[in-house]
Amino acid sequence: MYRKDGEDYFIVDAHIALWDARPENQRNIHGKQFIDCFYDYHRNLSPEPEVWSYEEYLYQGGERLMRDMFADGVVDHAIFQPARLAEFYHRGFGQTEEAFALAQAHPDKLTYNHYWDPRDGENGLDELRRNAERMQLKGVKLYTADWHGESRGWKLTDPMAYRYLEVCREVGIRNIHVHKGPTIRPLDRDAFDVADVDHVATDFTDLTFVVEHCGLPRLEDFCWIATQEPNVVAGLAVAIPFIHTRPRYFAQIMGELLYWIGEDRILFSSDYALWTPQWLVEKFVDFQIPEDMAEYAPLSTEVKKKVLGLNAAKLYDLPVPEHLRLPDAPETATGPRQPDAADLATV
């Protein structure tokens, strides 16, 4: 829990990883390039005192993770969202068993989400069923840009992906986290296209699709889809660190998200170990839309509480102390959420 100015915030970090990008796990040059890319994100967007050394960045381990997440009591619960990246790393990037064991040791603090890949075919369907039971999965992380043999990506609308989504529905996996953001897929059309989310959100209305990185670099495409599909949610991973280097840009991202999808469908995510959650939480609680951005309403304490934890707690049935709970906003299920707050209200 985080406390500031007499207000208590229940904090859920909806996207963390326990990765291993050390040289001995790198399968090829892409494994090095991938973690170097992450490290550049980290160096580019972090406040100076929060910048880690490269060696620290390659691998953290469970003990360090527990300290960074919980030792100072800031994060109440965190959710693993592992990426496989088996073509880049010998034992994969996200450390499945290590993270799962950590989550089992701290069930009150950690939830383990696993991944699947439709290119694993029928065998993967069976494995998903087994994993769902063994790991008690409530969610999965999908990385459509992952390489797999000759393929360098897939779409949620691929027929086999539908089979996997049907299994999710069958075994009670409700939260489908989809990485949409800087990708590595040389698609014929557009490597960042979020249109496939639109399709599956319509076809699987009983599942929740959390779009990680809220569609960046195509915020507008994401907003347009999410505003029409009540089961699409924005994850703030990689977007929230702009709060430090580019606060006005971050204000615009928040303003747009609140306008298009509303306060009940935005999730705080540090994307640990890209960034540690503590400074992000502190800055977010202190953050306000600049006064001269009159096209956006100010961020209320309630909105901050929902984004920082209550929204994710609801998706994952996490127990929230009674005095910290808040009711859902009286917003429409689809369409823009804050028409009165916009500067065009009078147009």
Residues that bind other proteins (CB under 8 A): 29-30, 33-34, 36-37, 40-41, 43-45, 150-153, 182-192, 216-220, 223-224, 242, 245-246, 248-249, 252-253, 256, 259-260, 289, 291-295, 297-298, 336, 339, 342-347
d(CA 58, CA 201) in angstroms, rounded, equals 35
Identity of the residue, 333 or 344, whose beta carbon is nearer to other proteins in the bound complex: 344
Q: How far is the CB of 223 from other proteins (least distance, A)?
A: 5
Identity of the residue, 138 or 180, whose beta carbon is nearer to other proteins in the bound complex: 180
d(CA 253, CA 243) in angstroms, rounded, equals 10
Contacts of 77 (CB under 8 A, 6+ apart): 11, 12, 13, 108, 109, 110, 111, 309, 312, 313, 316, 318
Identity of the residue, 95 or 252, whose beta carbon is nearer to other proteins in the bound complex: 252
Give the E-state strand segments of 83-195 in sequence order: 110-112, 114-115, 139-142, 175-179
d(CA 226, CA 245) in angstroms, rounded, equals 27
Identity of the residue, 132 or 289, whose beta carbon is nearer to other proteins in the bound complex: 289
Identity of the residue, 65 or 219, whose beta carbon is nearer to other proteins in the bound complex: 219
Q: How far is the CB of 183 from other proteins (least distance, A)?
A: 7
d(CA 323, CA 241) in angstroms, rounded, equals 29
Please count the CA atoms within 13 angstroms of the CA of 302 that sit on its side-chain side. 9
Identity of the residue, 86 or 135, whose beta carbon is nearer to other proteins in the bound complex: 86
Q: How far is the CB of 269 from other proteins (least distance, A)?
A: 17
Q: How far is the CB of 182 from other proteins (least distance, A)?
A: 6
Q: How is residue 269 written in tokens?
A: 């995510």
Omega prior to 217 cis, within 30 of 0: yes
The residue among 36, 18, 17, 16 whose CA lies nearest residue 26 is 36
Identity of the residue, 1 or 37, whose beta carbon is nearer to other proteins in the bound complex: 37
Q: How is residue 20 written in tokens?
A: 């291993």
d(CA 111, CA 14) in angstroms, rounded, equals 9
Q: How far is the CB of 79 from other proteins (least distance, A)?
A: 24
Q: How far is the CB of 260 from other proteins (least distance, A)?
A: 7
Please count the CA atoms within 13 angstroms of the CA of 132 that sit on its side-chain side. 21
Identity of the residue, 56 or 220, whose beta carbon is nearer to other proteins in the bound complex: 220
d(CA 137, CA 129) in angstroms, rounded, equals 10
Identity of the residue, 174 or 218, whose beta carbon is nearer to other proteins in the bound complex: 218
Q: How far is the CB of 34 from other proteins (least distance, A)?
A: 7
Helix (H) or strand (E) holding 63: helix 61-66
Q: How is residue 41 written in tokens?
A: 């994100």
d(CA 120, CA 66) in angstroms, rounded, equals 32
Give strand pairing partners of 16: 80, 272
Q: How far is the CB of 270 from other proteins (least distance, A)?
A: 18
Q: How far is the CB of 243 from other proteins (least distance, A)?
A: 13
The residue among 202, 277, 272 whose CA lies nearest residue 232 is 202
